[in-house]
Amino acid sequence: MRSRILSGIAACVIACAVMATAQAQDRYPSKNVRLIVPFASGGATDIMARIMGQKMGELLGQTFVVDNRPGAGGNLGSDLVAKSSPDGYTLLMATASSHGANPHLYRKFPYHPINDFIALGVLGINPAALGTHPAIPAKDVPSLIALVRANPGKYSYGSGGVGSILHLCGEQFKIKAGGLDIEHVPYRGSAPMINDLAAGQIMMAFDVLPTILPQIQAGTVRGIANGGTVRASALPDLPTVAEQGLPGYVCYSWGVLMAPAKTPAPIVATLHQAMVTALTDQTVVKRLRETGMDVFQPPRDFEQTQVFYQAEVAKWGEIVKATGILLD
Protein backbone atom coordinates (compact mmCIF):
# COMPACT_ATOMS: atom_id res chain seq x y z
CA MET A 1 0.00 0.00 0.00
CA ARG A 2 2.78 2.42 1.03
CA SER A 3 4.68 1.81 -2.26
CA ARG A 4 1.52 2.46 -4.27
CA ILE A 5 0.97 5.74 -2.40
CA LEU A 6 4.57 6.81 -3.01
CA SER A 7 4.29 5.85 -6.67
CA GLY A 8 1.13 7.90 -6.94
CA ILE A 9 2.79 10.90 -5.31
CA ALA A 10 5.79 10.59 -7.64
CA ALA A 11 3.54 10.41 -10.67
CA CYS A 12 1.65 13.47 -9.47
CA VAL A 13 4.89 15.40 -8.89
CA ILE A 14 6.14 14.50 -12.38
CA ALA A 15 2.83 15.47 -13.96
CA CYS A 16 2.79 18.78 -12.11
CA ALA A 17 6.38 19.48 -13.16
CA VAL A 18 5.54 18.73 -16.80
CA MET A 19 2.49 21.00 -16.62
CA ALA A 20 4.51 23.77 -14.98
CA THR A 21 7.21 23.46 -17.65
CA ALA A 22 4.63 23.59 -20.41
CA GLN A 23 2.96 26.62 -18.84
CA ALA A 24 6.36 28.35 -18.47
CA GLN A 25 7.05 27.71 -22.13
CA ASP A 26 3.60 29.04 -23.07
CA ARG A 27 4.35 32.23 -21.12
CA TYR A 28 7.84 32.61 -22.60
CA PRO A 29 9.37 35.06 -22.17
CA SER A 30 8.16 36.05 -18.72
CA LYS A 31 11.34 37.90 -17.68
CA ASN A 32 14.36 39.62 -19.19
CA VAL A 33 16.44 37.69 -21.73
CA ARG A 34 20.22 37.90 -21.48
CA LEU A 35 21.97 38.18 -24.85
CA ILE A 36 25.66 37.31 -24.49
CA VAL A 37 28.12 39.03 -26.82
CA PRO A 38 31.43 37.17 -26.54
CA PHE A 39 33.42 40.27 -27.52
CA ALA A 40 34.00 43.76 -26.15
CA SER A 41 31.41 46.50 -26.45
CA GLY A 42 31.51 48.80 -29.46
CA GLY A 43 32.53 46.17 -32.00
CA ALA A 44 30.54 44.77 -34.90
CA THR A 45 29.02 41.89 -32.90
CA ASP A 46 27.99 44.21 -30.09
CA ILE A 47 26.35 46.66 -32.51
CA MET A 48 24.22 44.04 -34.27
CA ALA A 49 23.28 42.39 -30.95
CA ARG A 50 21.99 45.69 -29.59
CA ILE A 51 19.99 46.46 -32.73
CA MET A 52 18.41 43.01 -32.78
CA GLY A 53 17.97 42.79 -29.02
CA GLN A 54 16.06 46.06 -28.90
CA LYS A 55 13.63 45.00 -31.63
CA MET A 56 13.14 41.44 -30.41
CA GLY A 57 12.48 42.79 -26.94
CA GLU A 58 9.76 45.04 -28.34
CA LEU A 59 8.20 42.13 -30.21
CA LEU A 60 8.26 39.73 -27.25
CA GLY A 61 7.42 42.22 -24.52
CA GLN A 62 10.57 41.69 -22.46
CA THR A 63 13.93 43.44 -22.32
CA PHE A 64 16.88 41.79 -24.07
CA VAL A 65 19.89 42.72 -21.95
CA VAL A 66 23.16 42.69 -23.88
CA ASP A 67 25.94 41.25 -21.72
CA ASN A 68 29.49 41.57 -23.07
CA ARG A 69 31.70 38.65 -22.03
CA PRO A 70 34.94 39.00 -24.03
CA GLY A 71 37.91 36.68 -23.76
CA ALA A 72 39.80 33.94 -25.61
CA GLY A 73 38.62 35.14 -29.01
CA GLY A 74 34.96 34.68 -28.13
CA ASN A 75 35.37 31.31 -26.40
CA LEU A 76 34.60 32.45 -22.85
CA GLY A 77 31.21 33.99 -23.58
CA SER A 78 30.25 31.21 -25.96
CA ASP A 79 31.12 28.51 -23.43
CA LEU A 80 29.04 30.31 -20.81
CA VAL A 81 25.98 30.03 -23.07
CA ALA A 82 26.73 26.42 -24.03
CA LYS A 83 26.61 25.49 -20.33
CA SER A 84 23.61 27.68 -19.44
CA SER A 85 20.15 26.37 -18.67
CA PRO A 86 18.32 25.69 -21.97
CA ASP A 87 15.32 27.79 -21.00
CA GLY A 88 15.57 30.57 -23.58
CA TYR A 89 16.78 33.20 -21.12
CA THR A 90 20.47 33.08 -22.06
CA LEU A 91 21.25 33.50 -25.75
CA LEU A 92 24.40 34.15 -27.77
CA MET A 93 25.32 36.29 -30.75
CA ALA A 94 27.76 33.95 -32.50
CA THR A 95 30.17 34.90 -35.27
CA ALA A 96 32.47 33.31 -37.80
CA SER A 97 35.26 33.70 -35.23
CA SER A 98 33.54 32.13 -32.22
CA HIS A 99 31.83 29.29 -34.09
CA GLY A 100 33.38 29.07 -37.55
CA ALA A 101 37.12 29.37 -37.00
CA ASN A 102 37.77 28.86 -33.28
CA PRO A 103 36.68 25.21 -33.09
CA HIS A 104 39.36 24.41 -35.68
CA LEU A 105 42.06 26.68 -34.25
CA TYR A 106 42.30 25.26 -30.73
CA ARG A 107 43.58 21.79 -29.90
CA LYS A 108 41.49 21.78 -26.74
CA PHE A 109 38.13 23.41 -27.16
CA PRO A 110 35.41 23.91 -24.52
CA TYR A 111 32.29 23.53 -26.67
CA HIS A 112 31.08 21.91 -29.86
CA PRO A 113 29.84 24.48 -32.40
CA ILE A 114 26.95 22.31 -33.58
CA ASN A 115 26.11 19.81 -30.83
CA ASP A 116 26.06 22.37 -27.98
CA PHE A 117 23.91 25.02 -29.67
CA ILE A 118 20.75 25.60 -31.69
CA ALA A 119 21.06 28.16 -34.48
CA LEU A 120 17.92 30.28 -34.14
CA GLY A 121 18.46 32.57 -37.10
CA VAL A 122 21.08 34.30 -39.22
CA LEU A 123 21.23 38.06 -39.72
CA GLY A 124 23.55 38.26 -42.71
CA ILE A 125 27.15 38.78 -43.73
CA ASN A 126 29.65 41.25 -42.29
CA PRO A 127 32.15 41.69 -45.13
CA ALA A 128 35.70 42.49 -44.15
CA ALA A 129 37.72 45.12 -45.95
CA LEU A 130 41.40 45.56 -46.59
CA GLY A 131 42.32 49.12 -45.70
CA THR A 132 45.57 51.03 -45.84
CA HIS A 133 46.91 54.28 -44.47
CA PRO A 134 46.57 56.98 -47.18
CA ALA A 135 50.35 57.43 -47.20
CA ILE A 136 50.74 54.09 -48.99
CA PRO A 137 50.84 54.81 -52.74
CA ALA A 138 49.03 51.59 -53.72
CA LYS A 139 45.34 52.04 -54.48
CA ASP A 140 44.30 48.51 -55.44
CA VAL A 141 45.26 44.90 -54.76
CA PRO A 142 47.74 44.40 -57.65
CA SER A 143 49.67 47.58 -56.85
CA LEU A 144 49.67 46.75 -53.13
CA ILE A 145 51.09 43.29 -53.80
CA ALA A 146 53.75 44.80 -56.07
CA LEU A 147 54.66 47.37 -53.40
CA VAL A 148 55.04 44.72 -50.70
CA ARG A 149 57.13 42.50 -52.97
CA ALA A 150 59.45 45.40 -53.71
CA ASN A 151 59.85 46.12 -49.99
CA PRO A 152 60.03 42.76 -48.15
CA GLY A 153 59.68 43.06 -44.39
CA LYS A 154 58.85 46.76 -44.49
CA TYR A 155 55.10 46.55 -44.04
CA SER A 156 52.86 45.05 -41.39
CA TYR A 157 49.14 44.41 -41.16
CA GLY A 158 46.89 44.60 -38.15
CA SER A 159 44.09 42.31 -37.05
CA GLY A 160 41.73 42.05 -34.09
CA GLY A 161 43.81 39.33 -32.46
CA VAL A 162 45.75 36.11 -32.98
CA GLY A 163 43.47 33.50 -34.51
CA SER A 164 40.69 35.98 -35.20
CA ILE A 165 38.83 35.93 -38.51
CA LEU A 166 40.77 39.07 -39.43
CA HIS A 167 44.07 37.27 -38.76
CA LEU A 168 42.89 34.48 -41.07
CA CYS A 169 41.97 37.13 -43.63
CA GLY A 170 45.54 38.44 -43.62
CA GLU A 171 47.16 35.03 -43.82
CA GLN A 172 44.82 34.01 -46.65
CA PHE A 173 45.82 37.16 -48.48
CA LYS A 174 49.51 36.32 -48.16
CA ILE A 175 48.90 32.76 -49.41
CA LYS A 176 46.66 33.76 -52.32
CA ALA A 177 49.21 36.38 -53.40
CA GLY A 178 51.86 33.67 -53.66
CA GLY A 179 53.60 34.43 -50.38
CA LEU A 180 54.19 37.94 -49.02
CA ASP A 181 56.62 39.14 -46.36
CA ILE A 182 54.19 41.09 -44.13
CA GLU A 183 54.38 41.01 -40.34
CA HIS A 184 51.16 40.34 -38.43
CA VAL A 185 50.43 42.80 -35.61
CA PRO A 186 47.63 41.49 -33.35
CA TYR A 187 45.48 43.88 -31.33
CA ARG A 188 43.00 43.39 -28.52
CA GLY A 189 40.05 44.23 -30.74
CA SER A 190 39.27 46.39 -33.74
CA ALA A 191 39.05 49.81 -32.08
CA PRO A 192 42.74 50.20 -31.11
CA MET A 193 43.81 48.65 -34.42
CA ILE A 194 41.78 51.11 -36.49
CA ASN A 195 43.09 54.02 -34.41
CA ASP A 196 46.67 52.94 -35.12
CA LEU A 197 45.93 52.48 -38.82
CA ALA A 198 44.45 55.97 -39.11
CA ALA A 199 47.46 57.35 -37.21
CA GLY A 200 49.96 55.56 -39.46
CA GLN A 201 51.34 53.24 -36.75
CA ILE A 202 50.52 50.34 -39.06
CA MET A 203 50.12 50.62 -42.80
CA MET A 204 47.35 48.13 -43.54
CA ALA A 205 44.68 46.13 -41.76
CA PHE A 206 41.75 43.79 -42.25
CA ASP A 207 38.55 44.66 -40.43
CA VAL A 208 34.82 44.09 -40.79
CA LEU A 209 32.87 46.95 -42.34
CA PRO A 210 30.92 48.00 -39.23
CA THR A 211 34.15 49.24 -37.64
CA ILE A 212 36.32 50.22 -40.62
CA LEU A 213 33.56 51.83 -42.72
CA PRO A 214 33.47 55.17 -40.83
CA GLN A 215 37.23 55.59 -41.32
CA ILE A 216 36.98 54.81 -45.04
CA GLN A 217 34.12 57.28 -45.40
CA ALA A 218 36.11 59.93 -43.52
CA GLY A 219 39.18 59.38 -45.71
CA THR A 220 41.48 58.53 -42.80
CA VAL A 221 41.75 54.98 -44.17
CA ARG A 222 41.82 54.02 -47.83
CA GLY A 223 39.62 51.10 -48.82
CA ILE A 224 41.59 48.75 -51.07
CA ALA A 225 39.24 45.77 -51.39
CA ASN A 226 36.18 44.05 -50.01
CA GLY A 227 36.83 40.53 -48.75
CA GLY A 228 33.34 39.20 -49.44
CA THR A 229 32.20 37.09 -52.36
CA VAL A 230 30.21 40.05 -53.73
CA ARG A 231 30.48 43.80 -53.34
CA ALA A 232 29.02 45.19 -50.12
CA SER A 233 25.85 47.27 -50.31
CA ALA A 234 27.48 49.87 -48.04
CA LEU A 235 30.49 50.23 -50.41
CA PRO A 236 29.26 49.23 -53.87
CA ASP A 237 32.22 50.90 -55.60
CA LEU A 238 34.82 48.91 -53.66
CA PRO A 239 35.71 45.77 -55.68
CA THR A 240 36.32 42.43 -54.02
CA VAL A 241 39.76 40.88 -53.59
CA ALA A 242 38.71 38.13 -56.00
CA GLU A 243 37.76 40.71 -58.63
CA GLN A 244 41.25 42.17 -58.33
CA GLY A 245 43.11 39.01 -59.23
CA LEU A 246 42.95 36.64 -56.25
CA PRO A 247 40.11 34.24 -57.07
CA GLY A 248 38.73 32.14 -54.23
CA TYR A 249 39.63 34.66 -51.55
CA VAL A 250 36.94 35.07 -48.88
CA CYS A 251 37.03 37.23 -45.78
CA TYR A 252 33.83 37.96 -43.90
CA SER A 253 32.05 37.31 -40.66
CA TRP A 254 28.36 36.81 -39.88
CA GLY A 255 25.89 36.97 -37.05
CA VAL A 256 23.88 33.94 -35.94
CA LEU A 257 21.64 34.02 -32.88
CA MET A 258 22.18 30.91 -30.76
CA ALA A 259 20.49 29.13 -27.86
CA PRO A 260 21.88 26.26 -25.78
CA ALA A 261 21.17 22.78 -27.07
CA LYS A 262 18.01 21.15 -25.70
CA THR A 263 16.13 24.45 -25.58
CA PRO A 264 12.45 23.42 -25.92
CA ALA A 265 11.03 23.54 -29.43
CA PRO A 266 8.24 26.04 -28.59
CA ILE A 267 10.82 28.52 -27.26
CA VAL A 268 13.06 27.98 -30.29
CA ALA A 269 10.07 28.65 -32.57
CA THR A 270 9.17 31.81 -30.64
CA LEU A 271 12.70 33.20 -30.85
CA HIS A 272 13.13 32.29 -34.50
CA GLN A 273 9.86 33.95 -35.46
CA ALA A 274 10.73 37.10 -33.50
CA MET A 275 14.07 37.28 -35.29
CA VAL A 276 12.47 36.82 -38.71
CA THR A 277 9.88 39.49 -37.90
CA ALA A 278 12.62 41.87 -36.75
CA LEU A 279 14.49 41.32 -40.02
CA THR A 280 11.41 42.26 -42.04
CA ASP A 281 11.28 45.63 -40.27
CA GLN A 282 12.88 48.05 -42.70
CA THR A 283 14.05 50.34 -39.91
CA VAL A 284 16.05 47.45 -38.43
CA VAL A 285 17.37 46.45 -41.85
CA LYS A 286 18.41 50.04 -42.56
CA ARG A 287 20.25 50.34 -39.25
CA LEU A 288 22.11 47.08 -39.84
CA ARG A 289 23.00 48.02 -43.40
CA GLU A 290 24.29 51.40 -42.27
CA THR A 291 26.88 49.54 -40.18
CA GLY A 292 28.09 47.71 -43.29
CA MET A 293 26.23 44.41 -42.80
CA ASP A 294 24.62 42.76 -45.82
CA VAL A 295 21.34 41.60 -44.30
CA PHE A 296 19.74 38.51 -45.81
CA GLN A 297 16.52 39.51 -47.51
CA PRO A 298 14.18 37.75 -47.28
CA PRO A 299 15.30 36.37 -43.90
CA ARG A 300 16.49 32.77 -43.81
CA ASP A 301 13.93 30.30 -42.48
CA PHE A 302 14.90 27.80 -39.78
CA GLU A 303 16.06 25.06 -42.16
CA GLN A 304 18.03 27.51 -44.33
CA THR A 305 19.70 28.78 -41.16
CA GLN A 306 20.91 25.28 -40.28
CA VAL A 307 22.27 24.68 -43.79
CA PHE A 308 24.07 28.04 -43.83
CA TYR A 309 25.55 27.60 -40.37
CA GLN A 310 26.81 24.04 -40.80
CA ALA A 311 28.35 24.91 -44.18
CA GLU A 312 30.17 27.86 -42.62
CA VAL A 313 31.62 25.75 -39.81
CA ALA A 314 33.00 23.32 -42.40
CA LYS A 315 34.28 26.08 -44.69
CA TRP A 316 36.24 27.87 -41.99
CA GLY A 317 37.77 24.55 -41.00
CA GLU A 318 39.27 24.30 -44.48
CA ILE A 319 40.53 27.89 -44.34
CA VAL A 320 42.18 27.33 -40.95
CA LYS A 321 43.83 24.18 -42.29
CA ALA A 322 45.18 26.09 -45.30
CA THR A 323 46.75 28.81 -43.14
CA GLY A 324 48.32 26.31 -40.74
CA ILE A 325 47.40 28.42 -37.69
CA LEU A 326 46.86 26.46 -34.47
CA LEU A 327 46.39 27.82 -30.96
CA ASP A 328 46.80 26.04 -27.64
Residues 113 and 134 grouped into a single domain: no
CA angle 7, 12, 18 (to 5 degrees): 125
Span 234-277, pLDDT tens digits: 899 999 999 999 999 988 999 999 999 999 999 999 999 999 99
Span 34-81, pLDDT tens digits: 999 998 888 889 999 999 999 999 999 999 999 999 988 899 999 999
CA 171, 177, 178, 184 torsion: positive or negative?
negative
**CA dist., res. 164 & res. 89, Å (int):** 28
Q: Provide the CATH number for the domain around residue 68.
A: 3.40.190.150
- Final residue in a domain of this structure, among 221, 244, 267: 244
| pLDDT at residue 21 in the model | 44
Answer whether residue 137 is part of any domain: yes
Q: Read off the DSSP letter of residue 248.
A: T
Answer whether residue 3 is part of any domain: no
| pLDDT at residue 163 in the model | 86
154's CB contacts (< 8 A; 6+ apart) are: 148
Q: How does strand 183-186 pair with strand 222-226?
A: unpaired
- Give yes or no for a contact between 47 and 65, defined as CB atoms under 8 angstroms apart: no
| pLDDT at residue 6 in the model | 39
- Report, as ranges of residue numbers, the positions in the chain whose pLDDT lies below 50: 1-3, 5-24
Answer whether residue 4 is part of any domain: no
